[in-house]
Amino acid sequence: MRHYVPTHLAIVLSTFAFACGSSNGGSATEADASPDTLTPSNPEGGETVDGSAPSNPDGGEAADTSTPPNDDGATPVTEGGGTVDGGDAAPPITVSGSIIVDGSAALPVPVRIAARKVTIVGADGKRTDVTSDASGAFTVSGVVPPYDAVVAGGPVAQAYPIAFLGISTPHPRLLGFPDSLSGLAPNSASINVVVEEPPCGSSACNINLSPYDCSFSGAKIYGGESGGYMTPTTQTFAAVEINWSGSTTVACAGFNVLVSDKTYSHFWYGQAGVSNVANGATVTTYTATPMSIPSLGNITLIAAASPLIPAAWGEPELSILFNYPSAQGGGFAYLPQVNEGTSIVSGVPNMVGATLTASAGIGSDFNVPMSDPALDQRVWASANNVPLSTSTVSLTLGSPLSLSAPTENGTLSASTGSAAWTWGSTGEVMVASLVDMGDASASVQVVVYTGETTIALARLAKAGVTLTPSLQRGEFDELGKVASLDAMLDENTLAQPDDSETFYTNVAFTLTP
């Protein structure tokens, strides 16, 4: 699935792979009530494991460190999270949750975050601050659902909050980042890959290089190169960069090499690898002449755009990925294609255990970086785990996200304003980020996950999130369809959003007091 990543952490997260277990830290304690800066994240694919509900080793619970926000003693009302005006109030629950490093859910043992502040605000307005214990667990009693949770950021890895609005599950697994970037620090090396020419005939060959961990140690290696035509004899791909995290040396870095002729009807496959690749190294590896593999014929991808997508957006960008089986180290190759516009055709190599991913994207301007503050809207559609024998895939690009506030070049009050949008359908989760463009480093102020259709900024303030009035870039990224935010966070379900249709809107506005 496509994941939201705050701009300045994109490279770090793309190379995320932990070789360690859970962090060590203190047990749950009463936290001070001063506002902290906090953390973001989003699920990183993959099913997870531990379905147990953690608790504090010493059996302790968090102390209530604040009072309801209403000074006159009246019963508070929580935006988007129900009211507590009498008999309709839900009974209090005990929230026993945990914090894990975003992206580690797919590991055999997710990486837990110890000694991290968590703020819980119930539907009755009662705020409680607690600190996660050595196993990343925390417990808060007497919480009226639906409640909001904010995970504070670490001292080094990041300094902004991640907020989850409108939770009802008593066993949430919240997402954050570690106190140090040492486990996330990206390593890189340059590999010169020499590929011998297969018998492509009179035409040149198209080559796709996809790196993988050929020691199968669990390291995640990213990089590679696609396209490029081979001329007779051999082709050298110079200084192909690979990236990984964790140890500064990877035991074996390999490349899956997929070659096709210009008609995309004949395929060859080979592998190249090099041992003990160190951070910063430049090494050369060779592949023997790739072996011919049969073709299953062609697949056609057709994309249709919603009539609500502006004609000025032009035609969608289409692609078909060939997903290598785990026996070949995983990863993917872009299949070369013929035709452009609303349909493409590609040949399909036959490899046991492989699948295809078909995707289409359209936007107001794909040439503008997503980090640019200018208004930018994008829509994606995809089909995953497509069998190789499939002859036609049809995708529909839905309507752009309807964002009513903030508006482009408009204003939004930090004390009274709300971000608001309309879902195209039900069962979706939004992740929104406010980026301070008045800061030279364009720092993220807050990241919010919610299944609702508004984010009242005063609601964030109740949980200790402080926003700096300035020029902002608001990034609104719909993660995909899922039963609810609860289903995504509950330790017993950990549902992954279906990203077959996702939306993104980037808007510039001024945040006022």
**Top-ranked range on mean pLDDT: pick from 157-161, 164-168, 307-311:** 164-168
Mean pLDDT of 146-160: 82
* Greatest CA separation for the chain: 85
> Strand 410-413 and strand 501-512: pairing?
parallel
Please write the tens of the pLDDT for every residue from 224-233: 666 555 655 7
Q: In degrees to the nearest 10, what's the CA dihedral of 240, 243, 247, 250?
A: -40
> In the prediction, which pLDDT does 131 show?
95
Q: How far is CA 90 from CA 141, 247, 279, 486, in A?
A: 14, 49, 54, 16
> In the prediction, which pLDDT does 351 show?
95
Q: Cα dihedral sign for 9, 115, 108, 140?
A: negative
Q: How far is CA 341 from CA 30, 109, 314, 319, 347, in A?
A: 59, 44, 9, 11, 18
Q: Which two tokens stand for residue 150?
A: 């904010």
**φ, ψ at 56 (rounded to 5°):** -70, 135
> Strand 186-196 and strand 282-287: pairing?
parallel
> In the prediction, which pLDDT does 478 show?
84
> In the prediction, which pLDDT does 228 show?
57
Single-letter code of the amino acid located at 300: T
Q: Which H/E stretch holds residue 460? A: helix 457-462
Question: Is the pLDDT assigned to residue 223 strictly greater than 80?
Answer: no
Higher-pLDDT residue of 63 and 45 is: 63
Looking up tokens 């004390």 gives 415
Among candidate residues 505, 186, 205, 219, the one with its CA nearest the CA of residue 363? 505
Cis peptide bond prior to 145, omega within 30° of 0: no
Q: Which residues contact 249 (CB under 8 A, 6 or more apart)?
A: 276, 277, 278, 279
Q: Which residues pair with 346 in a beta bridge?
A: 299
Q: Which two tokens stand for residue 147?
A: 């409640």
Please write the tens of the pLDDT for every residue from 182-205: 555 678 899 988 888 787 765 677
Mean pLDDT of 500-512: 89
The Cα–Cα gap between 479 and 123 comes to: 25
DSSP 8-state class, residue 72: T
Least confident of 76-85, 257-266, 397-406: 76-85
Question: Is the pLDDT assigned to residue 370 strictly greater than 50?
Answer: yes
The SS3 call for residue 443 is coil
Among candidate residues 170, 177, 149, 151, the one with its CA nearest the CA of residue 44? 177
Among candidate residues 217, 211, 287, the one with its CA nearest the CA of residue 243? 211
Mean pLDDT of 288-312: 89
Higher-pLDDT residue of 59 and 263 is: 263
CB 140 within 8 A of CB 15: no
**Top-ranked range on mean pLDDT: pick from 12-21, 52-61, 211-220, 461-470:** 461-470
> In the prediction, which pLDDT does 502 show?
86
Mean pLDDT of 415-440: 83
Q: Which residues pair with 323 in a beta bridge?
A: 332, 355
Q: Which H/E stretch holds residue 450? A: strand 444-450
Mean pLDDT of 241-253: 83
CB 121 within 8 A of CB 129: no
DSSP 8-state class, residue 124: T
Higher-pLDDT residue of 275 and 47 is: 275
Q: Which residues contact 183 (CB under 8 A, 6 or more apart)?
A: 18, 19, 20, 111, 245, 246
Least confident of 70-74, 255-259, 418-422, 436-440: 70-74
The Cα–Cα gap between 329 and 503 comes to: 31
Edge to edge, the sheet with strand 343-349 lists: 343-349, 295-305, 392-397
Question: Is the pLDDT assigned to residue 53 strictly greater than 60?
Answer: no
% of the chain beyond a pLDDT of 90: 35
Q: Which two tokens stand for residue 140?
A: 């808060």
The Cα–Cα gap between 111 and 21 comes to: 6
Rg (CA), the chain: 25
> In the prediction, which pLDDT does 214 show?
83
Least confident of 355-364, 367-376, 402-411, 475-484: 367-376
Q: What's the burial of 414, exposed, middle or buried (CB within 10 Å: 0-12/13-18/19+)? A: buried
Q: Which residues contact 354 (CB under 8 A, 6 or more apart)?
A: 322, 323, 324, 325, 388
The SS3 call for residue 104 is coil
Higher-pLDDT residue of 458 and 88 is: 458
The Cα–Cα gap between 221 and 218 comes to: 9
Question: Is the pLDDT assigned to residue 162 strictly greater than 90?
Answer: yes
% of the chain beyond a pLDDT of 70: 73
Q: Cα dihedral sign for 263, 264, 265, 270?
A: positive
The Cα–Cα gap between 154 and 36 comes to: 10
Cis peptide bond prior to 336, omega within 30° of 0: no
> In the prediction, which pLDDT does 226 show?
61
Mean pLDDT of 95-124: 84
